[in-house]
Amino acid sequence: MLLEQLSNARGVSGNEAPVRDLLIEAIKAHVSEYRVDHIGNLIAHKKARSARKSAPKVMLAAHMDEVGLIIVHHESNGHLRFRVVGSIDPRVLLSKVVLIGKDKIPGVIGVKPIHLLKKKERDQVIDVEAMTIDIGAKSKEDAQGAVKIGDYAAFATEFGAVGDGLVKGKALDDRTGCAALVEILKRDYPFDLYGVFTVQEEVGLRGARVAAYAIEPDVAFVLESTVCDDSPKKKDVSPTTRLGDGPAITLADRSFISDRRLVHLLVETAKENRIPFQFKQPMIGGTDAGRIHLTKEGVPSAAVAVPTRYIHSPVSLLSLHDYQNMVALMTKTLPKLTKL
């Protein structure tokens, strides 16, 4: 399963090559041409099946990168200091296994045993700056031989099935979008389609910015994995999205306001085809659409995402039904697109 391979592959922002290599293999039989641009985006071009005058140039984007760690210092005892790449809650880091660098050196983010914790320490959140990775090195020199400053570390989580139709894994944000985009690229469309697997989304939507500048699309869709906070709560407030209720359509988030015509098209298509869908809680998070829609003279954009629990942590959880419904929603919607 491609999603499994993608989830297990390591591609912290700035180091997306392993993920990109998998994707190139997955798409090359289905697209007219592909290239890797100057900052590492994989841009696949699928030419129109039959040229139509009103056909728009469409860009679909999913980001290859994941949140992770980068090594910044070797301690005298051989432990490694690190910083986070992208946003990670420091509380989810302690005692996790990570794989560092090309050689996948395993390491453990150390934690003080509960036996030794003072009462005050139990209530504290430990800063990332105070944490270290233990790779079993005996000395600074030993550690320097195994790991270099600037090496990336990714969580060691293995993809797997959970419950009925759910899967767990790391980096589902946004390998889910990448897997969906590969599925979408397997079909033909009556317009020129650019499937873009972007880099560096988690550190500021950087890849999408230059890719959209080069492509100059008329319309853009971003395929994502998004926040899902659907556990029961004391107050009647938004769950952001609900697992299993279908793909989540963004109306507005911190990075952009969706083009209402595109939202309308998605909703109508979902209703016609009885594909379940939901609206994501507005004004939470941001996606590549935040940069794409501001490209050159502006690009009408929308974002669709698979609800994902425990996002930006070493392991998250999603429903394959939601994933399949996102692919279905996009493959049914795209052929209806005309120039706006």
Instruction: In whole angstroms, give the CA distance from residue 150 to residue 235.
Output: 44
Which residue in 111, 126, 257, 320 binds other proteins (CB under 8 A)? 257
Single-letter amino acid code for the residue at 229 = D
DSSP bridge partners of 60: 195, 221
Show the tokens assigned to 98.
Answer: 């990570």
SS3 (DSSP) at 122? helix
Nearest residue to 317 via CA among 222, 229, 221: 229
CB of 20 to other proteins, least distance (A): 29
Instruction: In whole angstroms, give the CA distance from residue 107 to residue 263.
Output: 45
16, 39 Cβ separation under 8 angstroms: no
Does residue number 267 form part of the binding site for other proteins (CB under 8 A)?
yes
Phi, psi of 335 (to 5 degrees): -60, -15
Instruction: In whole angstroms, give the CA distance from residue 230 to residue 214.
Output: 39
Which listed range, 14-22, 168-176, 221-229, 259-267, lies at the site for other proteins (CB under 8 A)?
259-267
Instruction: In whole angstroms, give the CA distance from residue 249 to residue 270.
Output: 11
Which listed range, 47-55, 94-102, 164-172, 280-288, lies at the site for other proteins (CB under 8 A)?
280-288
Does residue number 48 form part of the binding site for other proteins (CB under 8 A)?
no
CB of 190 to other proteins, least distance (A): 21
Which residue, 26 or 270, is less far from other proteins as judged by CB?
270
Which residue, 138 or 296, is less far from other proteins as judged by CB?
296
Which residue, 49 or 254, is less far from other proteins as judged by CB?
254
Active-site residue, from 16, 66, 183, 201: 201
Annotated active-site residue 141? The verdict is: no
Does residue number 281 form part of the binding site for other proteins (CB under 8 A)?
yes
DSSP bridge partners of 305: 224, 248
Does residue number 248 form part of the binding site for other proteins (CB under 8 A)?
no
CB of 97 to other proteins, least distance (A): 36
Query: Interface mask (CB under 8 A) for other proteins, residues 202-241, using x and -?
Result: ----------------x-----------------xxx---
Cis status of the peptide bond prior to 174, with omega within 30 of 0: yes
Instruction: In whole angstroms, give the CA distance from residue 293 to residue 254.
Output: 13
CB of 116 to other proteins, least distance (A): 36
Which listed range, 67-75, 113-121, 182-190, 275-283, lies at the site for other proteins (CB under 8 A)?
275-283
Q: At what angle do helices 17-27 and 172-185 cross, to 10 degrees?
A: 20
282-321 residues near other proteins, rule: CB under 8 A: 282-284, 293-300
Beta strand pairing status for 166-169 and 219-228?
unpaired
Which residue in 102, 260, 272, 273 binds other proteins (CB under 8 A)? 260
* Catalytic (active-site) positions: 201
Q: Which residues bind other proteins (CB under 8 A)?
A: 218, 236-238, 251-252, 256-257, 260, 263-264, 267, 279, 281-284, 293-300, 340
